[in-house]
Amino acid sequence: MQPVRRTSLIAQVTDQLRAEIVAGRWPTGSRIPTEPELAELTGTGRNTVREAVQALVHAGMLERRQGSGTYVITTSDLGGTLGKYFAAAHERDILELRQALDVTAAALAARRRDDTDIATLRDLLARRNLLWSPVEGAADTTAAVAADLALHRAIVAASHNEVYLEFYDSLLPAIEQTILRHPVAAENSYEPEHDQLVQAVIDGDSERAATAARRFLTELLAHRT
């Protein structure tokens, strides 16, 4: 005979929700189903679902946003722990960490990017530059920052290194905060630097991609610390 496992219903639902996130069915940045929807999907009560979701909020995998819903902020418990640590870090420390991550990721992306990556990078670069340099009026800060983050994440994704991408995802909220501490406007766009970086990745020139990433982040660090 095997020992009886006394796993609570809440723990079982928590494990199911975690599995959906880890498997990528609810990707980072996406909103998960509502509590009534989750209750129906799991065949459990709303209180059970609420406790399971809260457990993943405490683990740092989910984030509740008032009036909007609950969103995936990382695909692992470790990523959530790192995200909480990065949230309290100094801006200089985050930028210095990005120097190491982004430069290496850019070089790897230039060597490993495929046709899908190239198309994605072109689309995201065009969107980013448009939002950071509006023809009329002030920039839409939320959309502009999101576009910038999406572009840099896409470069890391093009490296096809899952560990790198997981770590970078845990850093994204902290990167977002460093951007939001400064005006989002055309004069802070660094559009030529982003153009050069993406083109080097598309061209498959790893040395030029690494140099472009290093130059951009060195300049960013010099102006913000």
Mean local confidence (pLDDT), 203-217: 95
Neighbours of 7 (CB within 10 A): 9
The answer to whether residues 197 and 213 touch, using CB atoms and an 8 Å cutoff, is yes
Could you write out the DSSP letters of every residue in 179-208?
HHTS--SGGG--HHHHHHHHHHHHHT-HHH
Residues 122-146: what's their mean pLDDT? 82
**Cα–Cα nearest to 24, from 59, 66, 76, 70:** 76
> Is residue 2 predicted with pLDDT exceeding 60?
no
Domains plus CATH for the chain? 9-75 (1.10.10.10), 79-224 (1.20.120.530)
Q: What is the mean pLDDT of the segment spanning 171-196? A: 83
For 64, the 3-state DSSP assignment is: strand
